[in-house]
Amino acid sequence: MTKRVNIKNISVGKGCPLVFIAGPCVIESYESCLELAEKLKIIFESQKVSFIFKASYDKANRTSVSSYRGPGVKEGMKILSDIKKRLDIPVLSDVHCKEDIPTVAGILDVIQIPAFLCRQTDLILSAGETGKPINIKKGQFLAPWDMKAVVEKIQSTGNEDILLTERGTCFGYNNLVSDMRSLVIMRELGYPVIYDATHSVQLPGGQGNASGGERNMVAPLARAAVATGCDGVFLEVHETPEKALSDASTILPLKDLSVLLKQVLEIHKVVQTIS
């Protein structure tokens, strides 16, 4: 039996409505972040589905030292706190070092552990000890069954509000592949699974000093993941992806979101009737 994880008024897990985690890759400015959050809320409410707003305050694993990283933890938390209060929506961000945990714990509704850091024990334990729901991304270098040890680290803190996210697996150099079996295998660990449809189409380091991506594959893979039976979909969204300061090659254009939502929601209905 898959545990249900409650995030404010949202329940995530088997038998629950499909949940979405959506927002920009990185906080580019307060104004742009708030404007996108407002537009996302309108789109998701029009489809009568719940969403968690995500935005990174620090992209600490950029390919190049000159790449934009974000406003940092203090300014980033001010921005996300204001958006959370203004729009009454839950917020998520990824944390790269345990020193940030005390600052983010009072604001974030979900603490996310990045894929590259999913085996960093001290960071995971610090996040788990907050008692907040933890979304932990499976590293590109891990098999899905390897996540059992990661889950056990969080459980050791007494925290069982865990989401497991698939975001692609290394496939040779500068490439990722999505193995939909991963969603089934990770769910057998007893927790809801999320499919990251935008990071899964990355071509890591594919542009030399930056990662590339195959945006045209976001929708097909999202549909496949929902058909497989995931509990939620993670999507990075931007009004003008070509101008995005991070992951420009993989971000979903905001104008394409409504159509994709309708498609995956219809698929999810079918899956629920046969599962």
**pLDDT digits over 163-198, tens only?**
999 999 999 999 999 999 999 999 999 999 999 999
Q: Residue 206 pLDDT > 90, yes or no? A: no
5-274: CATH homologous superfamily? Answer: Aldolase class I (3.20.20.70)
Query: For position 175, what pLDDT does the model report?
Result: 94
Query: For position 83, what pLDDT does the model report?
Result: 98
Query: For position 20, what pLDDT does the model report?
Result: 98
Query: For position 183, what pLDDT does the model report?
Result: 98
Phi, psi of 85 (to 5 degrees): -75, -45
Least confident of 58-72, 130-144, 159-173, 249-263: 58-72
Task: Measure the CA angle with vertex 47, ends 238 and 89; round to 5°.
Answer: 65
Query: For position 211, what pLDDT does the model report?
Result: 78
Q: How confident is the model at residue 120 (pLDDT cuts 50, 70, 90)?
A: very high
The whole-angstrom separation of Cα 44 and Cα 56 is 20
Could you state, in order of their start, the residue ranges of all structural domains in the chain? 5-274
**pLDDT digits over 75-115, tens only?**
999 999 999 999 999 999 999 999 999 999 999 999 999 99
Task: Measure the CA angle with vertex 81, ends 80 and 85; round to 5°.
Answer: 115
Q: Residue 160 pLDDT > 80, yes or no? A: yes
Whole-prediction pTM: 0.96
Query: For position 157, what pLDDT does the model report?
Result: 98
Q: How confident is the model at residue 26 (pLDDT cuts 50, 70, 90)?
A: very high
Q: Residue 22 pLDDT > 80, yes or no? A: yes
Q: How confident is the model at residue 116 (pLDDT cuts 50, 70, 90)?
A: very high
Query: For position 176, what pLDDT does the model report?
Result: 96
Q: What is the 3-state secondary structure (H, E, C) of the chain?
A: CCCCEEECCEEECCCCCCEEEEECCECCCHHHHHHHHHHHHHHHHHCCCCEEEECECCCCCCCCCCCCCCCCHHHHHHHHHHHHHHHCCCEEEECCCHHHHHHHHCCCCEEEECHHHCCCHHHHHHHHCCCCCEEEECCCCCCHHHHHHHHHHHHCCCCCCEEEEECCEECCCCCEECCCHHHHHHHCCCCCEEEECCHHHEECCCCCCCCEECHHHHHHHHHHHHHHCCCEEEEEEECCHHHCCCCCCCCEEHHHHHHHHHHHHHHHHHHHHHC
